[in-house]
Amino acid sequence: MTYVELDGIATWYETVGSGPPILMLSPGGFNAQLDNWHSFGRYKDLQMVRHLSDTNTCVLFDRREAGRSGGRLERLSWDAYAAQGTALLDHLGIGRAAVMGGCAGCSVALAMAVSRPAMVTSMILFSPAGGVKYRLAQHARMAAHLAFASGEGLQAVVGLARQTGGSFSAEPRVGPWGPLLASDPAFAAVYAASNLERYKTLVAGTARLMFDRDTVPGVDPEDLLGLDIPALVIPGNDDSHATSAARYLAECLPMCQYWNVEVSDQSEEGVADRLASFLSETSGD
């Protein structure tokens, strides 16, 4: 594992295995760090990186504002996350790669495919985050953060982040910059001195524009309909990963394979075989 600076943001990454490259866009919402592929929820049981690295070079990284990567106080967006992924591939000299997203990483993968279609050979979209309950939950978390910041001030947000470790998912009041506030004193000082009214506008804009629909957030359907990139969609089935979100992608992506298997039947071996089959079929594209 090592750091590289991408657009002024320190990015923690590693490569595992050998063979055709596949960029892994981590699950975990705003806490999208590479360790989640090994330890987070269903991903711990499925161990997809271990299987994929038998035949592929897996490129993993902590997304900006998560894990050991850095960040910046600006409106967050799927396009900004996608730019970090494409910049990492550029840094590694990888001109074309398969892209795999887990959870909200699917929105990043789709944004990459739209912004740099020549770079993406194929997409694996595993348990895409989306659905009306997902949207409502994200807006509620942002609202809880805004209420705390408005009432107590930004210095209080810094203090709470340091006290709790900064996880936005565990403590919504710390906001999406929580991990940086807990780990980076220089960033925390800039954050605490920021204009509160402008900060509130920044957060409100992030919430409104990132979580903008009751399907998979981010990329417009018209842009998805124009993609000529093979895709494999594997559905989830809970409040954050509605099956309807996966079905939406199957409807919008012209070259989509939809693996119609219930979550309870998505075993480690079954998922590994399906991923390997798809990558083998699309390796020449």
CATH number for position 41: 3.40.50.1820
Radius of gyration of the chain (CA): 18
Q: Give 174's strand partners.
A: none
Closest CA to 253 of 149, 52, 117: 117
Closest CA to 71 of 23, 7, 14: 7
CA distance 285 to 276: 15
Query: Long-range contacts made by residues 110-114, C-beta under 8 angstroms, separation at least 24?
Result: 110/78, 110/216, 110/218, 110/219, 110/224, 110/249, 111/78, 111/79, 111/81, 111/82, 111/218, 111/219, 112/23, 112/25, 112/82, 112/85, 112/86, 113/219, 113/227, 113/229, 114/219, 114/223, 114/224, 114/227
Please write the tens of the pLDDT for every residue from 138-171.
999 999 999 999 999 999 999 999 999 999 999 9
With pLDDT > 70 as the criterion, what percentage of the chain qualifies? 99
Q: Are 125 and 106 in contact (CB under 8 A)?
A: yes
pLDDT for the residue 1: 77
Identify whether residues 63 and 200 lie together within a single domain. no
Q: Are 256 and 249 in contact (CB under 8 A)?
A: yes
Domain end, chosen from 187, 210, 233, is at: 210
Identify whether residues 11 and 91 lie together within a single domain. yes
pLDDT for the residue 275: 98
User: Both tokens of residue 267?
Assistant: 């075993």
Please write the tens of the pLDDT for every residue from 40-63.
999 999 999 999 999 999 999 999
Give 79's Cβ-side CA count (13 Å radius): 8
Tell me the pairing of strands 21-25 and 120-126. Answer: unpaired
pLDDT tens digits in sequence order for the chain, 285 residues long: 799 999 999 999 999 999 999 999 999 999 999 999 999 999 999 999 999 999 999 999 999 999 999 999 999 999 999 999 999 999 999 999 999 999 999 999 999 999 999 999 999 999 999 999 999 999 999 999 999 999 999 999 999 999 999 999 999 999 999 999 999 999 999 999 999 999 999 999 999 999 999 999 999 999 999 999 999 999 999 999 999 999 999 999 999 999 999 999 999 999 999 999 999 999 754
Q: Are 237 and 264 in contact (CB under 8 A)?
A: no
For the chain, counts of helices (H) and of strands (E): 13, 8
Identify whether residues 103 and 219 lie together within a single domain. yes
Identify whether residues 9 and 22 lie together within a single domain. yes
Identify whether residues 117 and 245 lie together within a single domain. yes
Q: Are 103 and 241 in contact (CB under 8 A)?
A: yes
Domain end, chosen from 189, 210, 231, is at: 210
Closest CA to 60 of 121, 102, 30: 102
Identify whether residues 45 and 121 lie together within a single domain. yes
Domain end, chosen from 147, 180, 210, is at: 210
User: Both tokens of residue 102?
Assistant: 């887990």
Tally of domains within the chain? 2
Identify whether residues 277 and 243 lie together within a single domain. yes
Domain residues for the domain of 149 are 133-210
pLDDT for the residue 283: 79
